[in-house]
Structure 1
Amino acid sequence: MIERLHTGTRMSKIVKHNGVAYLCGQVGAGDTVADQTRDCLSRVDALLVEAGSDREHILQAIVWLADMADFPEMNAVWDQWVPEGHAPARACGEARLARDVLKVEIIVTAAIKEET
């Protein structure tokens, strides 16, 4: 069964299938890459909770930066956010994002926690 949450015409914010949660790309507010990354990851946290998952269950993350020169600044925030020993498979690339003010977008796939 496929479950879609917060579904609109174009996309769903969360799609759950076979014990996996797929989150739509998240962006954040702020003037710097660090600010936007922190805000973006806060949004990821909220969606993970709603999906029945958390940071320790992230399987894969795809990070898009508007400028790869911002890689170290984004990583400084990312490294503090990811729980030690639970780093997901991750890719990072440069892409033109949906709006000029955006500096980072993160797409996450996570396992849904098993009920105990």
Structure 2
Amino acid sequence: MRLYSGPVIEPYPSNTPQNITRNASMIMRYQKGSRMSQAVSYGGLVHIAGQVANDRKAGIEEQTRDVLGKIDVLLKEAGTDRSKLLAVNVFLPAIVDFDAMNAVYDAWIDAENPPARACVEARLADPDLRVEMTAIAAL
């Protein structure tokens, strides 16, 4: 017995060759490299890869500013901005840097539209890195 008598609506297009090609063409990649893209947009979202500072000898505040600046550039390239951030993940190799990182982050974030956020202590790829961030934003 069918409980719903309305039309059956497919949530996703079928995987016909035409739709696969069309869907793949909607994927946009930004600052592509041989290993990864710095950002990828699809389905109304942009996913920003882990961003780290260029100056690995700088302190936590300067590295945080550099990382947030890179996120701004990638958001702009994708056609969005920080007011549309949905989530930010922060990775700190030393949780003692939490307050200093937050001071810079809090000045940068759109206080009217704060994203969901997590901050974890984690070993980073280079011991001189003080912060790494990923982000997801709506387009």
What TM-score, normalized by structure 2, do the two folds share? 0.77
Larger gyration radius, structure 1 or structure 2: 2
Number of corresponding residues = 112
**Candidates 41, 45, 55, aligned match of 2:68:** 41
1:3 matches 2:28 = yes
Shift of 1:9: 2.5
Q: Is the 8 A contact 2:30 2:74 kept in 1?
A: no
Q: 1:11-39, CA deviations, whole angstroms, 9 ceiling, x for partnerless residues?
A: 11111111100011111125211110001
User: Could you list the runs of 5+ residues in structure 1 that have no partner in the other structure?
Assistant: none
CA distance in 1, matches of 2:33, 2:58: 28
The equivalences for 1:2-81 within 5 A come to 2-28=27-53, 29=55, 30-81=57-108
| One-letter amino acid of the structure 1 residue matched with residue 67 of structure 2 | C
Relative contact order (C-alpha < 8 Å, sep 6+): which is higher?
A: 1
Q: Percent identity?
A: 46
| One-letter amino acid of the structure 1 residue matched with residue 116 of structure 2 | A
User: Could you list the runs of 5+ residues in structure 2 that have no partner in the other structure?
Assistant: 1-25
- Which consecutive aligned stretches of 4+ in structure 1 deviate over 6 angstroms post-superposition? none
CA distance in 2, matches of 1:88, 1:24: 16
What TM-score, normalized by structure 1, do the two folds share? 0.92
Give the 3-state SS of the residue equivalent to 2:124 in structure 1. Answer: coil
Shift of 1:4: 1.7
1:85 matches 2:112 = yes
